[in-house]
Amino acid sequence: MSINYSEKIPNNVNLSEDRTLQRALEGWQPNFINWWDEIGPEGAEASDVYLRTAVSVDPAGWASFGHVKMRDYRWGIFLNPGQQDRKIHFGDHLGQDAWNDVPGEYRANLRRIIVTQGDTEPASVEQQRHLGLTAPSMYDLRNLYQINVEEGRHLWAMVYLLHKHFGRDGREEAEALLERRSGDADTPRILQAFNEATPDWLAFFMFTYFTDRDGKFQLCALAESAFEPLARTTKFMLTEEAHHMFVGESGISRVIQRTCQAMNEMKTDDVKKLRAAGVIDLPTVQRYLNFHFSVTIDLFGADESSNAATFYSTGLKGRYEEGKRTDDHQLRGQSYKVLEVVGGELKEKEVPMLNALNEVLRDDYIKDSVAGVGRWNKVIEKAGIPFKLTTPHKAFHRNIGALSGAKVSPEGRVVSQAEWDVKKNEWLPTAEDRAFVASLMGRVVEPGKFANWIAPPAMGINRQPVEFDYVRFA
Ligand SMILES: [Fe+2]
Ligand SMILES: [Fe+2]
C-alpha cells in the first residue's frame, strides 16, 4: 500500500516534490512498520498514548500532543532551517562553503557516520521493548513510549539522509538498519552499549541519563558537520533528545527520593531492611551508575584514533560546541592528554590532539554527566543522609581503547586481577542486585498510582496533572 507522504509523514523537506526519494521511502516504510510490529514495544498495540509529535521546527511550538496508537505515530522528517551561505568552520576546508551534497571523496566516511548513528536509534527501542510490562506508573509508561517513538523518528531522520544522498548503497544500508538486532549473536547492533540488555527500570533510567546523553554529544558533534543536511537534521534531533535525558535524570532522582524517605522513616541505612521494605538501596544505585557510565563512555571510541582525526580534518564531525571555541579550529601541532597504564599506574601521555578527538568528546561528556550526579546528591543531602553518589574514574571498567582490560577501581587506582575479582561485586551490579531490582518490577498503571520504589514526579507532561490518563488501554 502506498502512502501519501505529504499528508501522512509530516515533513519540511518537500518530500512530495522528489518522486525518486518518495518512492524509496515508500519502499522502506512497510519494512519499518514490520520491524516495529516485530520488535517494538511489547503489549502496546492497542493502547492510545498521550504523545508529542514533531510537526515543525519552530522553537516556539514544534510539537502537538494527543492520544495516538504508537503504530500510527506520524514519524516525520524535519531539518532545522539552513543558514544562508553557511561556511565550514573547522578542519582543512575551513572558510569554504558548506556542502548540500556529499563530496565523492567523503562518501564512504559520511555513510559510515550516518549508519553508526542510525543504528543506535532502533537498537534502543529493541533494548527497551519489554519495559512496558513492568512500568512503575502510567506517567512513566508514557515517557517510555515517547522515547520509543522518537528513537523511531531518529531512525527515519538517518534513513532520509541515506535515501536522499547515498543512492543504492544508502537504500541497502537503510534495509540493514532494520535487520540488525540488539544483543543478537549473529546480527548485533554496531556499538556494544546498544547490545546490552535494559532489563529493568533502574537500568532504563540510567540508560536514558547516560547513554541518551552520549547521543546528545554525538549529535552535537554532527550538528557542526560541513555536510549541511546532517547538521540540520541532528540539530532538530537534539530538541527531542533533551526529554530523553530528562526522563533519566528525573527518574533516578525520584528513585533516590523514595529511598531516602524510607531511610528516614525507618531510621536505617541497612541494605537488607531497606530491600525488605521494597526500596532500592543507594549502594545498588551506585553500582548501576558505575556500570552505565563505564559502558557509555566506551561509546566515544578509542582514545587515539586516526579516524577521529580524519572525520575532523575533512569537516565531517566537529567538536562539541565547535562554534564557541576560540582556537584555530584546525588543531594541527596541538596536543592532548590521554591515559595509559605504565608499570601498574595510570599515566598521562601527550598525543596529537587531532588523534585524541574521541577523548576530547568523552571528557566533555563526562563534565556534563557529573553535573547531573551532583543534582542527585542534592536530593540525598536535602534528606539529611550522609551518602554521596560518585561518577567513577574514566579508566574504570573500560573495554575500548588503551585502557581496555586494565583493572582500575572506581577511584582510579590500578588494581590486581585478584583485587578486582574480590571487589567487583562492590563496584558493579551483581546478579543478586539485578534479581532484587527485578523483583520490584511489577506493573503499576492506574492513573496517579506509583510503584513503591519510586516517588511521583513533581509535575505531569505538557501541564497535564500527574494523575492524567496518559495511556488508554483497550
Ligand atoms: Fe535518538
Ligand atoms: Fe534518545
How many whole angstroms separate alpha carbon 261 and alpha carbon 28? Answer: 50
Per-residue confidence (pLDDT) for residue 6, from 0 to 100: 52
Per-residue confidence (pLDDT) for residue 7, from 0 to 100: 61
CB 145 within 8 Å of CB 51: yes
pLDDT in tens, 280-316: 999 999 999 999 999 999 999 999 999 999 999 999 9
- Which pairs count as long-range contacts for 368-374, CB under 8 Å and 24+ apart, including other chains? 368/213, 368/216, 368/217, 369/209, 369/210, 369/213, 369/293, 372/209, 372/249, 373/289
How many whole angstroms separate alpha carbon 65 and alpha carbon 67? Answer: 7
Ranges of H-type helices in 166-190: 167-179
Residue 351, pLDDT above cutoff 50:
yes
From the CA of 208, how far away is ligand 2's center (Å)? 7
From the CA of 351, how far away is ligand 2's center (Å)? 32
Q: Kindly report the CA angle at 350 between 344 and 354, in degrees rounded to 5?
A: 130
Grid look-up 578542519 returns 91
DSSP 8-state symbol, 322: G
From the CA of 120, how far away is ligand 1's center (Å)? 7
Per-residue confidence (pLDDT) for residue 201, from 0 to 100: 98
CB 416 within 8 Å of CB 407: yes
CB 364 within 8 Å of CB 217: yes
Per-residue confidence (pLDDT) for residue 179, from 0 to 100: 98
From the CA of 148, how far away is ligand 2's center (Å)? 8
How many whole angstroms separate alpha carbon 470 and alpha carbon 463? Answer: 12
Residue 3, pLDDT above cutoff 80:
no
pLDDT band per the 50, 70, 90 thresholds, residue 375? very high
How many whole angstroms separate alpha carbon 231 and alpha carbon 218? Answer: 11
From the CA of 207, how far away is ligand 1's center (Å)? 12
**pLDDT (mean) for 321-344:** 96
From the CA of 139, how far away is ligand 1's center (Å)? 21
From the CA of 241, how far away is ligand 1's center (Å)? 6
Cell numbers standing for residue 73: 505515530
From the CA of 57, how far away is ligand 1's center (Å)? 17
From the CA of 150, how far away is ligand 1's center (Å)? 7
From the CA of 147, how far away is ligand 1's center (Å)? 8
pLDDT in tens, 161-185: 999 999 999 999 999 999 999 999 9
Residue 402, pLDDT above cutoff 80:
yes
CB atoms within 10 A of CB 29: 19
From the CA of 358, how far away is ligand 2's center (Å)? 20
Ligand closest to Cα of 155 equals 1
Question: If you write DSSP's letter for every residue of 142-166 in order, what string do you get?
Answer: HHHHHHHHHHHHHHHHHHHHHHHHS
**More confident call, 56 vs 205:** 205
> For 95, left (φ over 0), alpha (ψ -120 to 50), or beta?
left
DSSP 8-state symbol, 345: E
Ligand closest to Cα of 219 equals 1
Ligand closest to Cα of 213 equals 2
Per-residue confidence (pLDDT) for residue 2, from 0 to 100: 41
pLDDT band per the 50, 70, 90 thresholds, residue 222? very high
Residue 340, pLDDT above cutoff 70:
yes
From the CA of 269, how far away is ligand 2's center (Å)? 34
| Portion of the chain with pLDDT greater than 70, in percent | 98
Grid look-up 540493514 returns 176
Cell numbers standing for residue 329: 579550529
Instruction: Tell how far CA 83 is from the center of its chain.
Output: 27
Q: How many CA atoms lie within 13 A of 342 on its CB side?
A: 6
From the CA of 194, how far away is ligand 1's center (Å)? 12
From the CA of 396, how far away is ligand 1's center (Å)? 26
From the CA of 118, how far away is ligand 2's center (Å)? 11
Ranges of H-type helices in 267-389: 271-276, 282-297, 306-313, 357-382
Ranges of H-type helices in 166-301: 167-179, 201-206, 212-222, 228-266, 271-276, 282-297
Q: Where are the domains of the chain?
A: 5-318+358-393+433-472
Ligand closest to Cα of 245 equals 2
From the CA of 97, how far away is ligand 2's center (Å)? 31
Ligand closest to Cα of 212 equals 2
pLDDT band per the 50, 70, 90 thresholds, residue 1? very low
**pLDDT (mean) for 438-459:** 97
pLDDT in tens, 250-261: 999 999 999 999
Element (H, E) at 120: helix 107-127
Per-residue confidence (pLDDT) for residue 4, from 0 to 100: 47
Ranking 76-85, 421-430, 455-464 by mean pLDDT, the lowest is: 76-85
Residue 5, pLDDT above cutoff 70:
no
**pLDDT (mean) for 34-48:** 96
Element (H, E) at 349: strand 345-352
**pLDDT (mean) for 82-86:** 89
Question: Whole-number mean pLDDT of the chain?
Answer: 95
Per-residue confidence (pLDDT) for residue 8, from 0 to 100: 66
We find that the CATH architecture of domain 5-318+358-393+433-472 is Orthogonal Bundle (1.10)
From the CA of 154, how far away is ligand 1's center (Å)? 5
Instruction: Tell how far CA 291 is from the center of its chain.
Output: 15
